[in-house]
Amino acid sequence: MPEEVIGKFKAVDDETGDVHRVFVYQNFIEHKTKGGTQDVPGQKRFATSTGLSLNRIDRETFEIVQTGQRLRKL
């Protein structure tokens, strides 16, 4: 099954004041059993609305991979 958007939020760069819209994506894996198939949640990833990749530092802090900027969840 393809990746789905499962959430979104805003985050701010405290140094510049720039606000970014962040999307949370999740893969779903099709798990087959004798009784049928079931979609099992897989890995999540975070990206800005402009397509920049994010690494999660903690629950409230993210780093833009391409620039090193830190963002704080609002």
Q: Which residue pairs from 57-65 have beta carbons closer than 8 angstroms and sit at least 24 positions apart in sequence?
A: 62/11, 62/22
HEC sequence for 38-51: EEEEEEEEEEECCC
Residue 33 in this model has a pLDDT that exceeds 90: no
Residue 1's pLDDT band (cuts 50, 70, 90): low
**CB neighbour burial string for 58-70, b if at least 16 within 10 angstroms, e if fewer:** eeeebbbeeeebe
Arithmetic mean of pLDDT, 34-44? 91
| 14 bridge partner residues | none
**What is the domain partition of the chain in residue ranges?**
4-73
Residue 61 in this model has a pLDDT that exceeds 80: yes
Arithmetic mean of pLDDT, 34-41? 90
